[in-house]
């Protein structure tokens, strides 16, 4: 049996990765592949600021 007519998610991700890692200068296709892979991996979510752990201040009554 031949290949299915529609690519599955794994095949699409592999294609984009191969395109991104291609040799030569960075062209429009490689930048778009990087953008799509970044979106897939959630690299652009939020307001663009890196998440920092919350700061917890202890000491209770000693803090003035």
| pLDDT tens sequence across 37-56 | 999 988 887 765 666 777 77
Confidence of residue 60 (pLDDT cuts 50, 70, 90): low
pTM of the entire structure?
A: 0.60
pLDDT in tens, 5-40: 899 999 999 999 999 998 777 789 999 999 999 999
* Pairs from 7-16 (Cβ < 8 Å, separation ≥ 24): 13/37, 13/40
- CA–CA separation, 32 vs 57, rounded Å? 44
In the predicted structure, residue 1 carries a pLDDT above the cut 70:
no
Domain ranges of the chain: 8-46
16, 37 contact by CB (below 8 A): yes
Q: What is the pLDDT of residue 12?
A: 93
């Amino acid at each position: 049996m031949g290949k299915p007519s529609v690519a599955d998610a794994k095949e699409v991700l592999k294609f984009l990765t191969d395109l991104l890692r291609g040799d030569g200068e960075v062209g429009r296709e490689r930048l778009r592949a990087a953008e799509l892979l970044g979106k897939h991996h959630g690299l652009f979510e939020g307001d663009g600021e890196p998440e920092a752990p919350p700061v917890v201040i202890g000491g209770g009554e000693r803090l003035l």
